[in-house]
Amino acid sequence: MQQPFTPPTFRSTAFHCPHCNAYANQLWFEAYISHGGWKGVENTSFCRCAHCNEYSVWISGGMIYPGSSSAPLPNPDLPEEIKTDYEEARAIISRSPRGACALLRLCVQKLCGFLGESGKDVNADIAALVKKGLNPKIQKSLDIVRVIGNEAVHPGQIDLRDQPTTATQLCSLLNVIADAMITQPKVIESLYAGLPETKLQQIEKRDKPKGT
């Protein structure tokens, strides 16, 4: 089972490395300067990944190097246009959580279009997917991204100005949706198509309505 994405967090002993993207132990060090003796540098720390041995630099609890996002990479099966929007959201999470949430809502809108709906009215598209038997967990995931994304554009009850964690969680949710709606069906269809032709014919005969 794949390790759920764990974003880099100050003083955490394990998370997904911003360099190699592996989930690994992280070793923390304080910064010192030599000036007539060793003196600690206030609010500055270094973190070394046990997997790739690369360092990240942290000041006042925030990672300043590398400049990569703390959000997971997009599901590789997402359509390229949606991947582009996702990557843009991922790149601005720390600077503009609201902007990232709005872009992720756009990703959901385009994903609904990819799944055969209008791609114009997200709420109506989700309702249509529910009527077609959409898994309730995926419905909830879609609505979470939709509602929070709407709040980013039209501020209401949810304040997203300083909440990069919320945007990061939406990235993870979008990948959950893509896995359920695109990746898993793709894998199942590929495996099913690889069954012997005689077995496929037997299955078709078994499931054929009687009298036809």
pLDDT band at 14 (very low <50, low <70, confident <90, very high): very high
| Count of positions (residues) in the chain | 212
Q: What does the alpha-carbon distance between residue 100 and residue 81 come to, in Å, rounded to a whole number?
A: 16
pTM, full prediction:
0.70
pLDDT band at 1 (very low <50, low <70, confident <90, very high): very low
In the predicted model, is pLDDT for residue 137 greater than 90? yes
CATH value at residue 173: 1.20.120
Based on the domain organization, do 107 and 151 belong to the same domain?
yes
DSSP classification of residue 112: H
184 found inside a domain: yes
Structure confidence by residue, pLDDT tens digits, 183-198:
999 999 999 999 999 9
Provide the β-strand partners of residue 65.
57
Q: What is the mean pLDDT of residues 20-42?
A: 86
Sheet holding 23-34, edge to edge: 14-16, 23-34, 38-49, 55-59, 62-65
Owning domain of residue 127: 80-189
